[in-house]
Structure 1
Amino acid sequence: MSLLDEKQRGAILRALHDLRRAAPARPGEQYGAPGNGSSLLLSLVTVGLVFALWYVATNVGWIKPLFLPSPQAVWMQLMDVASDGFADASLLSHIGWSAFRVFGAFVLAACTAIPVGIMMGVNRVARGVLDPLVEFYRPLPPLAYLPLVVIWMGIGEGSKVLLIYLAMFAPLALSARAGVKSVAIEQIHAAYSMGASRGQVLRHVIMPAALPEILTGMRIAIGFGWTTLVAAEMVAATAGLGFMVLTASKFMATDVVIMGILVIGAMALLFDLGMRWLERRLVPWKGKA
């Protein structure tokens, strides 16, 4: 790369950096909205109230244990499954298999759907070809095409991962496309006026501007993955949190069902918190007007 290209690249990056630094404070900060500490306190109070209501309703006898077991019963069941296992598999094995299926599908979806979404955002031909296909299958529930997935892939791990992958693909692709379309045209024109090439504009202008939408799409997609997990593990699974919930429901073991749901929710929450931390590091300007 020539010295002139290096100067152009540096000028582009400095201009974009100055534009982001010049952005005003978050709307919530401008209008005196509660800060992160207040939001965290409200969240903890809400969770505490929900658990308190659950404890009172189940221990006083408002709800029968068959419909909603007490928190103590769910905790004891968690300890039993952690020590003795469930359905010939340990709790760690159930968690490991579910995590492998969900996060394996997530990595595959991120590696394919994000480039597809970027192509749809920057290229009219790609958008015209791919957009109808993605929009057609996006609203379909995974159970609708589960039989086809089994016919195509059999009853092995491939069908489970593929089903979860398909549930994640559309939100990731559409978020990437939306991120590309949200780029201010003034920034693109400014980069071209400084002599930037299309590759430099894509790398230094479009991708950083689209990254907030892409990260949000990742959070949404992983949620779709966890909701599809139970359907995926209906297919000849012998371990997994979804398999555990389904098996327990057949025997009316509500405490195991609730315990499995809470474990799935806890894993999804931890991932979401990790994604929020990543957003604060990668896109600190997100949310600034």
Structure 2
Amino acid sequence: MAVKSMEDSFVYKMLNTNNKVSNNIGKLLTEGKRLDKSNLEEAMMIINKNFKFPLKQQVIKAFEDGELILMFAPTTVRMPNALPFFLTRGGNGQVVSVVSVDLYGSMNQKGDVHIDPKKLYTIMEAAYLSRKYYLQNQKYITNRGVIDACNIYANMIIKPLNKKYSLNVDRNKMHKVQFLAAKFYLINVLGLNDGDTVNNYAISVCKNGNPILLREVDSLMKPEDYKDISTFITALSSELLNLGMRDLTVRGFLEAFIHMYDGSTVLGLELFPYFLYTTNSVIHGAYLNNQYILEDIVESRGVKLYNSFVI
């Protein structure tokens, strides 16, 4: 698996129009306040005392060792809620993960930060996993995890499309979109090479799907259709695929996706750490996105996916 940089994401480029996000990241790092435990005593006490998440000790250690940095942005900076954490190089040249705590917290004049402990922990854990994925991605996800993630991702794509185009009326049509969405996830998000393994994973997402019809629609796709979410959505709308979505636009899909799941989920369309952040937020009950809608999609598969990173 090849790690895709944030700059290669169509969604990030859209968010970063006129370098707005890049400039804010720079200001956050140079002008923001770096937080330690003394700034977060109440939240950290609850995390240490009450939370039983299996990665908690590793996350706290990463914070203590400076691999995970918590920042509070100056008032002139507002990061998008889709980007509560990111990776950068520290002063020693090592990769570190940075969390923008101000997105969900407030600071008083003494420097004490008030934030929901579960939100703080969930974002810290996502930032920790993002760094681990960057450094160890070749061995970082099990085959079982791939299948569970494919199912969740494909159904996240399907739901806003089904709302507009009633794909579930035609099971074969719905399976085709599920199959292609799973392939996009495997090729674009995870960086796998197209081939029999990818096709088999994608077919497994479609319960009682017709392999002949799925391979037929697969043959109509071009490699460049999987370049980014923009090219993929454009391909789904083509007359060649005959999926009944000819008026589907990239902008229309993104607006429907954000409206359904919340803006915090949108980078997960193309970047694995942010997809995992979305699913783990649901599992932890952190309400960092549209928890109620996503619970029906994530369900037990999200727990299995999470566990594939814990073991």
The answer to which structure, 1 or 2, has the higher relative contact order (CA under 8 A, 6+ apart) is 1
Q: Relative to total residues, which structure has the larger strand share, 1 or 2?
A: 2
Same-fold call, TM cutoff 0.5: no
Q: Relative to total residues, which structure has the larger helix share, 1 or 2?
A: 1
Shorter-chain TM-score bucket reads under 0.3
